[in-house]
Amino acid sequence: MKKLKILVPLDGTERSMHSINWLKKFFSMDDISITLINVMETILTNEMMDPINPPGFDYITEDSNLVLDKAIKELEGYEVEKVSALGYAADEILRKAEKDSFDIIIMTKCSKKGLYRIIGSVTSKVVRNAKVSVIIIPD
């Protein structure tokens, strides 16, 4: 039987870990393969890409690995791959989902107030543009 491919974006907050807890309740480790993705946001200034975090890609990669490794510990026994990306979060999540033909994206809803209080702007863009099912987990 073919394993279901699941993409789980994590932003480093405790809230984003709710996706991991939900996934473990509803999917057997024998039935799925999981890819965890952490996107380091970028901004465009003077026609150049700059990381929002302090300069130095190694520093950014270390932070991303800490986020992903924490989640991997929670998923002991599951087939897990980790991916760090640099760019706009929603765009990178959508690009990865399409490129690697994922079956499902699982995200945790944002806890922000105001315009995107139901789901965050990244989640909103992923839901609107994904070509696969997106499961949004309450925080």
Express each pLDDT in 62-76 by its tens digit.
888 899 999 999 999
Q: For the residues 39-53, what does the mean pLDDT come to? A: 60
The closest of 88, 12, 13 to 50, measured between CA atoms, is 88
What is d(CA 117, CA 119) in angstroms, rounded to the nearest whole number?
6
Instruction: With a cut of 80, say whether residue 82 has pLDDT above it.
Output: yes
pLDDT in tens, 8-45: 999 888 888 999 999 999 999 999 999 999 998 765 55
pTM of the complete model: 0.83
How far is Cα 116 from Cα 124, in angstroms, rounded to an integer?
8
Average pLDDT, the chain: 84
pLDDT at 110: 65
